[in-house]
Structure 1
Amino acid sequence: MHKVLIVDDEIFVRKGLINLIDWPSLQFEICGEAENGAQALTLIQQRSPDLVIVDIRMPVLDGLELIRQVIAQGGHQPLFIILSGYPDFSYAQQAFRYNVSDYILKPVNEQEIAATLKRIATTLNQKQLLSMTREKPLVEIIIESLVQAEPEEQVMTQIAHTLELPLTSSYSYVIAEIQDKLPHREIDYMQPLQSLLQRFFHLEGQPLLIHVRAYNQYGFIVPPLWQDEHYGSERMGYMKLHQCLEDHLSTEIALFAGHKVDQLKKIVHSRTSADECLKYRFAVGFNGVFMAAELLDQPLYYYDVDEELHSKLIYEVEANHKEGYNGAIDAIFLAFKERYFTPGAVANTVRRSMIATINIIRQLEGNEEDLAWLQELMNWQTKYRNLDQLRSVFTNFIAEAAAYIAKQRGEKSNGSIEKVKKYIDGHFRENIYLKGIAAEFHMNPIYLGQLFRKNYGMYFNEYLLTLRIEEAKRLLRQTKKRMYEIAELVGFQNADYFATQFEKLEKMKPSDYRNKMIDPS
């Protein structure tokens, strides 16, 4: 895997880019993030990324100056991709003088950057082959070659001969993902995992094709001598393997098994289907073993959670109703599992809820950085790899945010709704609307609307219309003003609309009402 450093002063741009691309499938892994060039310079020295994707305009040290300084220092020299919101030829001209690999305009197009990354991966692979040392075992080099593309026959024959493996037999590629709630490779599981797999597959003294992937994942090729019939079914065999690994490594693990292939050189196709299984990681009912043979015909859900569920959650958060927001979280996570949400769709839902919650905090002049769980949730994809883990972090964040919002507003009851009603009573003649009033009182408009109805038995618009029509009736009885004048005085911009609404409530036209008051007989 080639290491990538993301540099942008906007955190949501960084997270959006990280979630946009299937990095492992393009032979990349994220090794860090920086919000300006100065931080990036330090991380380049510390982590030696192969590629740096950098915004051209940032505080402290911009993208072009970062590249200039890296070149001038003469140490580790990564490749660079420039991101820019400015289609200015002079920027691009200067960037290419520094020999950057590409200059991509925002908003980033997924196909464009994926094509660039494929091209850069080829360049990096060639550089790696030219500078290969004995630091990496031959087996890892071989498997990483096999799972990227079908080798030529001559190369394949030499590999099979070296490893004493049959060219034609049943093979599968499997991804073992360690779900220990720790960042990638904080604990190196390679040796214990290799030993366990060799014992399980009865390969003591023989090579096992295994390599390190990104995101705490290890890929391995199931050997041809492993017979499914010994366990009754392929799933049963993987379930036994899953249990063995969890018991001995003392952590949660998920297995993603690709389709079987009938030749070793075709293992790349099994790897591709195993990668596809990763998209089903949040689906219900697979007990830690996700098999391409069972999953890949099932339709995935790529969109955000339903608006009704999202609004319900935000309303309950603002109301600080623990039972309510826990119920909304239950419904959202059930939808993730039952509708086969992709990891990207789950991430979008989490991000949307975070942004909505942060906006409420900011409206109340609070600071979201005060929340202890904010960073943990913001970076959840680097540590939490199943729904139970994500749910725990998400619930803690929501509970903390709800309490913070209640405290920031300075009230633990619905007393503020009385102030809202008094405001409406005093300003109904003006062009007021719910969203504007919500902003005036630092409240979410959906929450305010529901709170108003709960307390007064009618919607905001109904109450406002009632006030206006009652005032119109008084003016019709006590003055000789014309209809358009009365409409304007009570807050209607259009006399015809006023007449329509009056008749809707009073079952008669304004003129008929006035005539009836003059001559009640």
Structure 2
Amino acid sequence: MYKVMIVDDEWLVRQGLRQTIPWREMGCEVVAEALDGEEALALATLHEPDIVLTDIRMPRMDGLELARRIKRTHPEIKTIFLTGFDDFHYARQALQTGAFDIVLKPTDPAEIRRILQAAMASIAEDRSRSSYTLNLERRVRTSEPLLTEKIFFDLLMNRADKESLQLLLDVRGNGPSAFDSFRVVLFKTPGTGAPRGTAGTTGTAEAGEPAGARESEDAAGPEAQSAFAALKDRLLEAALTPFIPLGQEINAVVVSAAGAEELAAAPGTLPAEVPSLSLSSVHRGLQSVATAYEEASFAMRFNFGLGRGPVVRYEAIVAEAQSHHPAEWSETEVLGMIKWDNAAAIRAKTRSWHMTLLRQSAGSETALRHQMLQLMFGLYALLMRHFWELGCLPDTKSFLESASRADSPETMLRWIEAVCCEVQAAYLLSKQQGKTEFDNVMDYINGHFHKELSMHDLASGLHMSESHFSRIFKKKIGKNFLEYITDLRMEKARDMLLHSDLRVYEVSLAVGYQDARYFSQLFRKVTGETPSDYRQSFSYQA
């Protein structure tokens, strides 16, 4: 039943409306009558009518003022005005108040019934829309934890698309600025074979893991569980994401950089029973979450068996590796080895480093692994500083993955040998071809056009400012950096469209665009045709 209130200062009008309209037949009930606007306003609060039939001109408070106040306090009520010909100049004002409709006096019962039915239909539609919205909001609230956990997991694994990221921001109400400065933190739940300082990144026993390093779940007594709960509370204060379970009781969380600093600055306040926290370096932007995760994973693995304290930070590991050479090699020695020795001499040199470290470790597998990891980091940093323009060195993410997979000192030694030999071969080839440093940069660009290239990083490799690099690039190539990359990608895309069966989105990914729609728009801007039309036009010519 729809509830109706009639407002008119004339008793005959009110009675006429009561008697001439078949209210129950229409599914309505007159719940109140009022003589003027003031009385009607009080009754509206008491009875909550769905529809108000009101005269315009009344004593004390007229219908226009009544409608305005009803709209403020009860916006869902539909107001229908009754007015005579003499008062019709009020119609414009009535409509401005948000009135549903206007009926002329003397009233025609059929006309009133038509307008009432339209008002009822409008109310039903509003209620249906409101119910749908409420159900949708309820479903979003119910699924939000699972949804955000899934998207953040994909972010960590570097497989979240742009649509997922936008959905994440919409659901959580976080703007991108929330991730302007953050760290990824990894930690293990207590009682899962991960006492402080022995956390690994997989659930299986690590190669070289000392016997008894893993504890049974029975070790997680009430004190450990209580301490772990306290740690979670500390992390939640700085968290930008929910806790993300990664399997084998490893948890990840993205925290603000400031919050992470507070944790790291007061490690003594962390419960002693919880495992150490492994922190990435500070990152900015959602697109760098995956790299931050790789760093935190490496920090956790590097900390395995070493008992290095409650907080292990990736940048501290890197700084230690770069400042300390356990095999007592110098930068000059490494550069000379790359530039003047052969592959056999490189293998002999790296094996001598390994033997030195083996003696220094005094038979401790854990200590040897630690020193070999330092050697990997130190060499990688040095080679990147002097030879990155050759284009043969892995990027940081790939290096961290290699370091994490290296499960023994022998595996690390083979990696060091292979990288040094590959760098030497690339260096000697560049000298034989008489290439300049800029030529090497162009070779790198042409070989890595499908990846994200930073003009800042390229300029740094040539020891020049970004602005100077931009001017030199334009002078030598005839195009600015962005134009060259775009044209190169479009050239490769045209070739793939004509000489392969790859779908458009596969071509988009192959030339470096994650968003196929943006690729298609850019392709059309450059060529005048969409990728599909371009492929089809050449197939017709063939």
TM-score by shorter chain over 0.5: no
Q: Looking at CA atoms only, which structure, 1 or 2, has the larger radius of gyration?
A: 2
Larger helix proportion of the pair: 2
Q: What is the TM-score when the length of structure 1 is the normalising length? A: 0.29
